[in-house]
Chains A and B, each alone.
Chain A
Amino acid sequence: MKADQPTAQPDARETVAYAEILKIAHEEGLRSIATELLAPPSDDNGRLAIVKAVVEVEKGRFEALGDADPISVEERFIPHLIRVAETRAKARALRDAVNCGIVSLEELDGERPVAPDRGLGSGASTPPARSSRYLSRTAAPRGNGDARRQSDASSDLMTEGQRRYLFRLMATRGLVKEAAEETLKDLLRVDALTAATKAKASELIDRLLKPTAPAAGASNGVHTAHV
């Protein structure tokens, strides 16, 4: 197999390094990066940290959220959840700003990628494959950085902190109890909330927190968005 061919491994995923996006953003006229801690990690919310990043480049302003909790980071990063969430938020905002559709490594789990097995035998030294300006294709991490997550499927499910946060977001739209539950099931496309994944919940929180246009309605003081 040629080194620049995409790997055919089913668990392969495309990633781009934060440093690479930042470099490109600077090249494209990065003006500022600002962050705001929206949810500090606490025992009440499952130690979930949520940070908002606002990136300004010449062509406009881009916002994104980043989250981190003890399950979504390597163990050594657990004491630094706010910083991880901040890096993830900045990475996402920067990706939007530089029109990069590929997820950054830091947005996933912070684990360093393992070089893909290219069938070249041990000792083969091959530079990472690149199919675009941003892309480096790596195998999903195979290390034991978070063995708990790999061995326990339940850790991929929506956390209690996420569920509560989603219900509170629904409440800011006037939806409570069963009405909120049904709406969330629809939005998460599940029959029961217990089946919703952490990733989907995170994605939905992100969507719900995206600011509305000024004419769209009064602010709720925390976050506004239309479903």
Chain B
Amino acid sequence: MESTPRTFSLSQVQAYLACPLKYRFQYLDKLPKPWRPSSLAFGSSIHAAVEFFHRLRFEGQAVDLAQVLRIFEADWYAQNLEQLVFSDRESQEGLLEKGKAMLTIYLEAQRGARPVAIEQPFELELADPETGECLDVRLRGVIDLVEEGDVLVDLKTAGRTVGEGDLERHLQLSTYALVHFLLRGMIPRLRLDVLLKTKVPRFERHETTRSVEDLGWTARLIEGVARSIETEHFFPNPSWRCSECEYFAHCQAWRGEQSIHSPLVSIG
């Protein structure tokens, strides 16, 4: 038995919840991904440009839209040097233009509160905020943006608007709040900034918060995921995501639990 609790990233927790078998392929078997969906790469390039923008603001420098767009263009070009898989309606050039349009409306909407932290990393031992019980799990991650007044912000690119239920159960925001509560003893304000990749790009802001009970639920969920990983429960979760999963072929070859210490299958 290990003397210190294992550390999981928030991304790992989300990956396991999305599909436990994909988690195993990615994090344990470390199978190379034969390709990447363009949607992931696109969101990542938007994120890089937004981070650059906020860093300029954080440093009190003048913000130049052209410079931010150039960062996006550069990052998107670099990502396309490796094979990306585009949907029928999308292309490298089309997404470049869409990304520029999205960033333009994003920058126009950024008035007022200055950032106090950008891409703020955290790592801590999880505890149940209701009981104080130590959960024997370490969690690490990065908070996209912290604004004045303890507002923790997550930025997403999405194809559709966010519903009320999505916001209440948004795991990333819940985890931000849990971390803030455990480190500082208070529940922060939360905001989800959504850049919509619709035909005419849109920007939405959704403010929310969490109760201590919500945070207890979140802590127990993360603990449950950690225990499931430690006890090697890996199974597929069929969903709409399967059509763009890089491990689809490996998943098709899957036939039940096997040792995690050897690659499952060899796909030629």
Contacts and interface: CB of A to CB of B under 8 A. Distances in A.
Interface of A: 37, 39-44, 79, 82, 148, 160, 163-164, 166-168, 170-172, 174, 176-177, 180-181, 193, 219-222
B55 A167 contact: no
Contacts of B77: 167, 176-177, 180-181
Contacts of A174: 70
A163 B78 contact: yes
B48 A193 contact: no
B55 A37 contact: no
Contact of B48 (A40, A44, A172): A44
A168 B47 contact: no
B59 A168 contact: no
Nearest to B54: A221
B73 A164 contact: no
B121 A176 contact: no
A219 B61 CA distance: 9
B150 interface: no
B91 interface: no
B21 to A, nearest CB: 18
Given A42-B142, A79-B7, A221-B61, A171 B71 contact: yes
B81 A163 contact: yes
Interface of chain A: mostly helix, strand, loop or mixed: helix
Interface string B67-111: 100110111011101100000000000000000000000000000
Contacts of B75: 164, 167-168, 171
A37 to B, nearest CB: 7
A79 B79 CA distance: 26
A166 B67 CA distance: 16
A91 B85 CA distance: 42
A176 B61 contact: no
Q: How large is the interface on B (under 10, 10 to 19, 20 to 34, 35 or more residues)?
A: 20 to 34
Given A163-B78, A164-B78, A41 B138 contact: no
A79 B120 CA distance: 16
A68 B132 CA distance: 34
A168 B123 CA distance: 28
B268 to A, nearest CB: 18
A171 B74 contact: yes
B56 interface: yes
A50 B6 CA distance: 23
B142 A40 contact: yes
B51 to A, nearest CB: 9
A37 B9 contact: no
A181 B142 CA distance: 30
A127 to B, nearest CB: 32
B11 A43 contact: yes
Nearest to B9: A43
B60 to A, nearest CB: 9
Interface string B21-52: 00000000010000000000000100110001
B210 interface: no
22 contacts: A42-B119, A42-B142, A43-B11, A44-B47, A79-B7, A79-B138, A79-B140, A148-B30, A160-B79, A164-B48, A168-B52, A168-B78, A170-B74, A171-B73, A172-B71, A176-B74, A177-B73, A193-B81, A221-B52, A221-B55, A222-B55, A222-B56
B74 to A, nearest CB: 4
Between A82, A167, A171, A193, the greatest number of chain B beta carbons within 10 A of the residue's beta carbon is seen for A171
Contacts of B30: 148
A160 B67 CA distance: 22
B123 to A, nearest CB: 7
Nearest to B12: A43
Interface in B169-194: none
Contacts of B9: 43
Nearest to A148: B30
A179 B9 CA distance: 37
A205 to B, nearest CB: 13
Contact of B70 (A148, A163, A166, A171): A171
Nearest to A162: B78
Contacts of B47: 44
A163 to B, nearest CB: 5
A148 B29 CA distance: 12
A44 B52 CA distance: 14
A221 B30 CA distance: 36
Given A167-B75, A171-B70, 20 more contacts: A39-B119, A40-B121, A41-B142, A42-B119, A42-B142, A44-B48, A79-B7, A163-B78, A167-B74, A167-B78, A168-B48, A171-B75, A172-B71, A176-B70, A176-B74, A177-B77, A219-B59, A219-B61, A221-B59, A221-B61
